[in-house]
Structure 1
């Protein structure tokens, strides 16, 4: 009976440890719930074993009722063997996962120690770099993140939370790697910033030249075409110059930051300057492209309509070839009326060519979307 108890207890202990590892590392598997009836059977068998031992552990009682003792011991052995077999059945049914959980759990202390070693290496690299580089915002932020990650790892280890230790150890490793990268890149930041400032200065001059062409182009729009064709562009000149002025301010502040030994702030300012320059260029392109488009349409108004009608005919043929006329034929046919309305809108001494273009573009986009829907049919 004692041998059966020790065997059951050993098996139950191994399985329980594996289940605990699974519950902590892979709670979504729900093995803790499946283990409960097996565990309860072990507890009951152990309880009955202790009761039999306590009742017949005295030699006097044992000799008084040897048959009762034999029956109690036999029942206890049977219960212990059944419980052990239940443990084996459960463990064998989930062996792969339980062994993985146990193996993973055993590596977690090693992961934590390795993370601390990597963190110390990053700290040493930081201490060895020049003071001016240690004051760069990217280096400061990376160092602070590493210290926060180390504190979280220490807390998880003190609480004995394996999954937290594993995730926090990975966070420490990532933070240490980020700090080392920041330290390595710091010496090159000054040179990169100087090149960026020079590049933005050149681009600012070029965009200023482009902006100077905006007002003449807008004036041509007003002279040559219906006022409605450029109503949405009336503020482009002032907006482009506002962006230019802000880019110039960013550039001057960046030069000051660079001279003060803060190239990272200068880089951030250069990113903002580039964004403003892109917006200024977009304002210019909107006007010059509009003028070019309207002149092209005015020279041959029917050209764009012919192109859209060709796309419509092509879409109709596709519907016929794919047997989709019943579903999409009327939808495509309705675009003919839209094309005719757009063409009929070109009236008067100064037709609104832009409205004409917008209507045709809308029809063309609708045709494209319809073709895509037909292609994507089940």
Structure 2
């Protein structure tokens, strides 16, 4: 007898609830797999964007391409998962066991495909290590590089203001600083517009130029002081050289009176050349002084360099005339001292050439024998009322040069042999 108002539960209904639970578990597992894949993809996309922002190498471009291909696979399996979920309403009251079983199977298959793609994605991410590390290193340099550039630019601007407050115009430095303004604009636009590597390069260039500007601005007062000292020094030197140049004509007069013409002919133009060079140098010094007053530092420096070169050349010519007379006086009083000094140089070279040998190497003996003959001819040439002492001195200088060259050659060869 059956009680009124009650239902009989068959074994099929219990089995249906079990199928529903299994299908729901498969759905939950698929949802978890979908979430984990989506999270992994989003995390990896950040890494890819980091690499592509910094690195434009073929390897980096291939990584971006491969990630795009993976993204298409992810879209495919995600669509399959969504289709499987939408195809079955597991909350339906009349869900039959067959439908639940199909739902479970389709959802398990979707889970497997999601997990397979996630495994491939993880493997892909693992292989990104070197490229990602390089990119992150570049990114880590970005902010500090930009900040250093800005600070260097500020320091340069402050240094320029400081020297201007002291009365220096520093127009050239100001113009160079102004040329950095467009670069600063691009720097402020950031890596998103110009790329990480280009932004780092721009920051480093700006920092370097700004530091150079700051140093030059800070050195400007000292540079002006140095120019003032050089102006005074060169003025004094020009005056002293003009006085020395006035002594050259008497020196030439004495050379003409006491020595053969080859001893002084090459010095004849020296007085006129010296006076002209000193006047030209004084003109350059005056121009440099005006450039200094107008704060044209580069022009002033160049003009002083020209003046110094003129004075150096003139000094050498004036000194040569005075030294000529001194040397001729010495050789006229005792030419044998020069002969003895020269013979000693030849003998010293000959002893070295014979050291450790029965006979000298012809390569060394020949020039030394020729030097002996040249010395003898020079001595024999000292004849007449006014011997050509200058030719004599030049010949002896050449003989000593030959002996010195042979000595250097022998020592070089023996040094190479010892090694």
What range is the shorter-chain TM-score in? Answer: 0.7 to 0.9
Indicate which of 64, 67, 73 corresponds to 1:48. Answer: 73
> Does the alignment pair 1:178 with 2:230?
no
8 Å contact kept, 1:257–1:266:
yes
Higher radius of gyration, 1 or 2: 2
CA distance in 2, matches of 1:72, 1:244: 95
CA distance in 1, matches of 2:363, 2:209: 56
Secondary structure at the aligned position of 2:128 is classed as: helix
CA distance in 2, matches of 1:57, 1:376: 88
Indicate which of 224, 243, 251 corresponds to 1:217. Answer: 251
8 Å contact kept, 1:56–1:69:
yes
Indicate which of 374, 390, 395 corresponds to 1:356. Answer: 395
* TM-score normalised according to structure 1 size: 0.74
Partner residue in 2 for 1:87:
128
Q: Write the mapping of 1:243-258 to structure 2, written as runs, cut at 5 A.
A: 243-251=277-285
Partner residue in 1 for 2:39:
6
Q: Write the mapping of 1:1-378 to structure 2, written as runs, cut at 5 A.
A: 1=33, 2-7=35-40, 9-11=42-44, 13-14=46-47, 17=50, 20-21=53-54, 23=55, 32-58=57-83, 59-60=85-86, 63=103, 65-66=106-107, 68-88=109-129, 90=130, 95=133, 100-126=137-163, 128-130=165-167, 133-134=168-169, 139-158=170-189, 160=194, 161-162=198-199, 163-182=201-220, 184-185=221-222, 189=225, 193=228, 196-251=230-285, 269-297=303-331, 299-300=335-336, 301-313=338-350, 315-316=352-353, 320=355, 329-346=361-378, 347-348=380-381, 349=383, 350-351=387-388, 352-367=391-406, 369-370=408-409, 373-374=412-413, 377=416
CA distance in 2, matches of 1:153, 1:311: 71
Runs (5+) with no aligned partner, structure 2: 1-32, 89-102
- Deviation of the 1:296 alpha carbon: 3.9
More helix by share: 1
* TM-score normalised according to structure 2 size: 0.68
Q: Pairwise CA RMSD of aligned residues?
A: 3.9
CA distance in 1, matches of 2:317, 2:413: 37
- Deviation of the 1:220 alpha carbon: 4.1
Runs (5+) with no aligned partner, structure 1: 25-31
Matched length:
350
